[in-house]
A and B are shown apart, each in its own frame.
Chain A
Amino acid sequence: GENVEQHPSTLSVQEGDSAVIKCTYSDSASNYFPWYKQELGKGPQLIIDIRSNVGEKKDQRIAVTLNKTAKHFSLHITETQPEDSAVYFCAASRHTDKLIFGTGTRLQVFP
């Protein structure tokens, strides 16, 4: 069935460094790829998303890249800050289908 793999499961970086989280999807028909940030005890919040007709999208310090041929997409956070510490989830879906989530990455940014 459809599957999204996410790596790494934990990531520790020094404040100011960059962080990269990678996801691979199995369904070649997937065309929507959102990234969510979840802080402790709260619901996930969308931070950025990308559709299959775009290869890269940026929003200030965060960016997402998509490689449709290899079926993987990545989240890049530059100049990390302690408030970036959270669990990040990637997801993939087809046009009108349900989201399939990755298993999450716990990011810790040390001051």
Chain B
Amino acid sequence: DGGITQSPKYLFRKEGQNVTLSCEQNLNHDAMYWYRQDPGQGLRLIYYSQIVNDFQKGDIAEGYSVSREKKESFPLTVTSAQKNPTAFYLCASSIDPRREQFFGPGTRLTVL
């Protein structure tokens, strides 16, 4: 069953702690993306990777970090430097940047 998965669905962390969100795809896609979604706003791009071992900052990269050591995995770390981390995080992938993006089910992060 092909697709893109994110875990966990809900995540709670204390302020000041780093947290890593998982994103895995078995679609053999080269490109992967992380978005943040806040109420009343569109999706905002955090980081993206067009190929393994390479990634670029999106529009709101401050306070976040990523790695792309494997084609199928693109984990996102929300660091303590992110001032307002509570949000819904969405991961997406595409076969290449010119093609449609497929989204995962999302992770809702709440920082207490």
Contact = CB atoms under 8 A, between A and B. Distances in A.
Nearest to B101: A99
B42 A98 contact: no
Interface stretch (B14-22, B62-70, B78-86, B103-111): B103-111
Interface residues of B, number: 22
A44 B90 contact: yes
A46 B97 CA distance: 15
Contact of A98 (B58, B96, B102): B58
A95 B42 contact: no
Q: Which of under 10, 10 to 19, 20 to 34, or 35 or more describes the interface residues of A?
A: 20 to 34
A6 B98 CA distance: 22
Contact of B98 (A89, A96, A102, A103): A96
Contacts of A6: 42
Interface in B21-56: 33, 40-45, 48
B100 interface: yes
Interface in A63-100: 89, 95-99
Contacts of B44: 101
Contact of A103 (B40, B48, B104): B40
A98 B103 CA distance: 14
Contacts of A36: 103
A101 B98 contact: no
A109 interface: no
B110 to A, nearest CB: 14
Contacts of A46: 100-102
In the complex, which of the residues A36, A99, A102 has the most CB atoms of chain B within 10 Å of its own CB atom? A99
Contact of B100 (A34, A41, A95): A34
Given A43-B105, A103-B42, 15 more contacts: A4-B42, A42-B105, A42-B106, A43-B103, A43-B104, A43-B106, A49-B100, A89-B42, A95-B98, A98-B45, A98-B58, A98-B97, A101-B44, A103-B40, A104-B41
Interface of A: 4, 6, 9, 32, 34, 36, 41-46, 49, 89, 95-99, 101-104
